[in-house]
Amino acid sequence: MVNSAYISLGTNLGDREYYLHSALQAIQNHIEITIESYSSIYETEPVGYEEQEHFLNMVIHVNTKLSPFDLLRVLQDIELHFGRERKIRWGPRTLDLDILLYNQENIETERLIIPHPRMTQRAFVLFPLYEMNKDIQIPTLKRPVSELIDELQDREGVRLWKRRSGEDVFELFEN
């Protein structure tokens, strides 16, 4: 069975664009994952731990035969390959790959929680997700992403950085 998943990408250390493109390539190269669509790339102010550089964030939609647990393992291997170290909670990182949604499933285990437990309060996740699919439902809440955006406490600090202009072509966004 082919499953539909949304994955968020984040980076705020080193050559941020290199890490995003490398992660996309590594995901695309996996034989059991196909990237169906990409959001634009957003530059975002850090949330949670504020004494750090701005992030680049984006969301992708993939089809995969992998279970959610196998998908998590693949993403964690890619994070590690690109030098991810876990030092400070919500602190700086070369690459962070989170599973936001997996079909319309609700999973609650020690290793994996889907929908991602903090996604509904994170403008840096909801804006790119909304760009890709305005009607997508968050299964635990049974509400569309558009309503969550309306209710966000803090929607500042998320700026379009590179607009998606083709299948995998990004153009610098001119203000």
Ligand X SMILES: Nc1ncnc2c1ncn2[C@@H]1O[C@H](COP(=O)(O)OP(=O)(O)OP(=O)(O)O)[C@@H](O)[C@H]1O
Ligand Y SMILES: Nc1nc2c(c(=O)[nH]1)N=C(CO)CN2
> What is the x/- site pattern for ligand Y, positions 42-61, by CB under 6 A?
--xxxxx------x-x----
What number of other Cβ atoms are within 10 A of residue 58's Cβ? Answer: 26
The active-site residue, picked from 16, 70, 86, 96, is 96
CA 174 to chain centre: 23
Contacts of 8 (CB under 8 A, 6+ apart): 57, 58, 59, 96, 97, 98, 100, 116, 119, 124, 125, 128
Which is closer to ligand X, CB of 114 or CB of 170? 114
Tell me if 94 contacts ligand Y by CB under 6 A. no
Least gap, CB of 14 to ligand Y (angstroms): 15
Tokens for 81, please give them.
């390959």
Which is closer to ligand X, CB of 118 or CB of 155? 118
Residue 135: active-site member: no
Residues that bind ligand X (CB under 6 A): 72, 86, 89-90, 96, 98-99, 111-114, 116, 118
Least gap, CB of 79 to ligand X (angstroms): 7
Instruction: Please give the sequence-ordered ranges of beta strands (E in DSSP) within 17-119, or none if there are none.
Output: 33-38, 41-44, 55-64, 96-102, 107-108, 113-114
Distance CA 50, CA 159 (A): 17
Which is closer to ligand X, CB of 65 or CB of 111? 111
Tell me if 90 contacts ligand Y by CB under 6 A. yes
Tell me if 117 contacts ligand Y by CB under 6 A. no
The active-site residue, picked from 16, 89, 93, 122, is 93
CA 95 to chain centre: 10
Q: Give which of ligand X, ligand Y, none residue 143 binds (C-beta under 5 to 8 Å, depending on kind).
A: none
Residues 120-139 that bind ligand Y (CB under 6 A): 124
Distance between terminal CA atoms of the chain? 43
- Residues carrying an active site annotation: 84, 93, 96, 98
